[in-house]
Chains A and B, each alone.
Chain A
Amino acid sequence: MNPRDRILAAIRDGLTTPRPEPEAIAAEAVALLADPDQARPRLAAPDLAEAFGIKATALGTTLERVARLADIPAAVGRYLAAHGLPPGLALQPTPALTDLDWNGVAVHQGIAPDEPAALGMALWGIAESGSLVIHSGPETPILLSFLPLHHIIVLHEADLLPHLEDYTARMTGQAAPRNAILITGPSGTTDIEGSYVRGAHGPGYLHVILVTRQG
């Protein structure tokens, strides 16, 4: 027998309980997640944006609100200036961002190993935990979220979801991307004597620009 068959046979030998049909197993699996509110934290505030903000900032993420996408270049310019960074950054190659008028901020594509700052977009935000969701794809290089020291993420307020399960529900029936990542705060480590240091390998700074209006 090959290792696969040996392992599966050993499992079947070890399991003495009756083996139900796959449909019954699937139904049991679904039932395990019934009434999710009983077993998950309540939101930090009734309003999704407020709840998200409370959780995100508690982790060291900074947050600002702009009315529309067109306000982003100015917001980015202010952020870079406030952190003493040169007025330029790597940009996620997605039309929603590349089509903006970047007058005054030198944007470029491609991410250098020591990129000072980069701007990307989140697909969703999760209010429960203050997390941002990104999926890999042609317009979403994963390294854009990990190489820069300052990571700025644009999130539409309309894309805020209450709980982690609301994200998984959105993905049901969809093809899973190569990488789906929940980003919850800037990179950190407590590996030296338990003392918290930001910017271990990933970004030391995470800034969210919340866009309140669509279009």
Chain B
Amino acid sequence: MTAAQPSFKARAEAALADRTLKLAIDRTTGNAERKRAAALAAFPEFEAARARGKAIKDHVIAHLDHYLEMFARNATASGAQVHWAADDAEARAIVTRICLDAKAKIVTRAKSMLGEEIGLPHALADAGIERVETDLAEHIIQLAGEHPSHIIWPAMHRTREQVADLFREGHNPPPEAEDPATMVQSARRVLREKFLGADIGISGANFLVADTGATCTVTNEGNAELTTTPPRIHIVTAGIEKIVPSTAHAMALLRLLVRSATGGELTQYTTFHCGPRRPGDADGPEEMHIVLVDNGRTKMLADEFREMLRCIRCGACMNHCVVYRQIGGHAYGGTYPGPMGSVLTPVLDGLAGSRDLPHACTMNGRCQEVCPVGIPLPTLLRAWRSRGWREGLEPGAVRAGLGLWARLARRPALYRLASRIGVRVLRLFGRGGWIGSLPLAGGWTGYRDLPRPPGRTFMEQYRADQARKEVRK
């Protein structure tokens, strides 16, 4: 994040003012919420499955070095070339070098949030390579020149009318109509040529299977297979936390992932990619490269954010977040939006530039409730707040105000006196039962009325009652 970008608050204000955006968010997240609820209702074993999924991820994280070495060994044995990248720059350099060495002109890409995280789209453009996003939503935002606003539905901020405008400009010939079905057909036609003409296909991975060395992608469109099969080279970029011990462990997590993401049971295509084309194979790439990316993950492993490594990127936390549902994904400013993004963005971009994110949360706990691997997201957000406080990142006025309040709260008698004075002063600002406007409290009274306190605090009244009772005795 650079200083030139608008602040979180400015981005949030812009989002709140955009009623079309709100409509688009409500349609997609509302649908996702309903479908997830129905999928869980049909799966009474979900709680047990969630406990198991959490245990699988914790097991892998506790033995991450062991499983990474096992994966790398098996992937290499399958004929894949395994690369390791400590950060985003190394990952970009590795992928770009493979593309340039292969003299690739067209690269197709199947949606991968890790690719976004490491800045792959820009890196390919800078290297002069034509990048073709093949996931329909990524295709939409590529035409719009935007970033994903959701990790499952990257173009969820766009209404069909806006998509129609983009396709009219970007498709030749343009779609014949503006209904989703016709527009999808148009994208199918446009992208089909690109799939078959690409030199390299790049995908992410939902899982890295340690005991086979396979990478796993899940899609509903079939674009991952069309991205990874025809070109001469398949490159996978994946975070090191994507490891599972075996295919069966991946299946256990898939049951959680798909239900939590879209309310389905499995995606239409669950594909394991194990090495390049075998002798005699009818199709498939001649080379497969797997780039294992750290980019802050080992740092999380070592500190209070370790539990975040369980995240399987389902997006349920954002679909159920009251803040996300008001401001959408772009306002968050990082690669990953919503609650999980507010934990990850400070890791990736630094806390100083993303200080607002852990605070822009009501701590209502719904994200943790729906998380399929039980990540205590509010606790992790609070951990960032604590770190921000320790590092002195909080604004001076907040520190001063809270410090004054804490000094009072540490002294009960003084606190009671301050409360007594406080309610009397507060009463002066209202009439009847409400205060409609209060200096320095515009954050409250700008939007809602404040109940006017009665003249005496509970403690005053209680102590008076007790004194009367004593006298009567």
Contact = CB atoms under 8 A, between A and B. Distances in A.
Direct A–B contact in the complex, CB atoms closer than 8 angstroms? yes
Interface stretch (B123-131, B152-160, B356-364): B152-160
B268 A181 contact: no
A137 B86 contact: no
B273 A179 contact: yes
B28 interface: yes
A190 B153 contact: yes
Interface stretch (B294-302, B413-421, B438-446): B294-302
B203 interface: no
Interface in A178-200: 178-195, 197, 199-200
Nearest to B69: A8
A146 B59 contact: no
Given A8-B65, A187-B222, A178 B302 contact: no
A200 B136 CA distance: 8
B436 to A, nearest CB: 40
B290 to A, nearest CB: 12
Contact of A136 (B192, B269, B282): B282
A187 B268 CA distance: 6
Contact of A137 (B196, B225, B282): B282
Contacts of A201: 134, 136, 188, 191-192, 195, 221-223, 226
A99 interface: no
B153 A191 contact: yes
Interface in A146-192: 146-147, 164-165, 168-169, 171, 176-192
A25 to B, nearest CB: 5
Interface string A57-75: 0010000000000000000
B389 to A, nearest CB: 24
A101 interface: no
Interface stretch (A28-36, A81-89, A207-215): A28-36
A95 interface: no
Nearest to B229: A142
A62 to B, nearest CB: 15
Nearest to B218: A182
A178 B220 contact: no
Nearest to A20: B63
A22 interface: yes
Contact of A199 (B63, B185, B273): B185
Contact of B43 (A41, A195, A203): A41
B48 interface: yes
Contact of A131 (B49, B56, B196, B266): B266
A187 B221 contact: yes
Contact of B225 (A15, A129, A202): A202
Contacts of A168: 246-248, 251
A115 B180 CA distance: 23
B184 A199 contact: yes
A14 interface: yes
Interface in B13-45: 24, 27-28, 31-32, 42-43, 45
A10 B248 CA distance: 28
A180 B221 contact: no
Contacts of B226: 143, 146-147, 201-202
Contacts of A26: 245
Given A7-B298, A10-B298, A142 B268 contact: no
Given A143-B230, A199-B185, A199-B188, A181 B270 contact: yes
B102 to A, nearest CB: 19
B138 to A, nearest CB: 9
Contacts of A139: 282
B457 interface: no
A184 B266 contact: yes
Given A14-B301, A40-B45, A193-B159, A146 B225 contact: yes
Given A181-B269, A191-B136, A39 B66 contact: no
Contacts of A192: 136, 140, 155, 158, 160, 163, 180, 183-184
Which 9 pairs across A and B sit closest by C-beta, in order of nearness? A202-B222, A14-B302, A141-B282, A10-B298, A200-B221, A14-B301, A191-B137, A4-B84, A138-B280
Interface of A: 2-4, 6-8, 10-15, 17, 19-20, 22, 25-26, 28-29, 32-33, 38-42, 55, 59, 93, 113-114, 128-129, 131, 136-143, 145-147, 164-165, 168-169, 171, 176-195, 197, 199-203
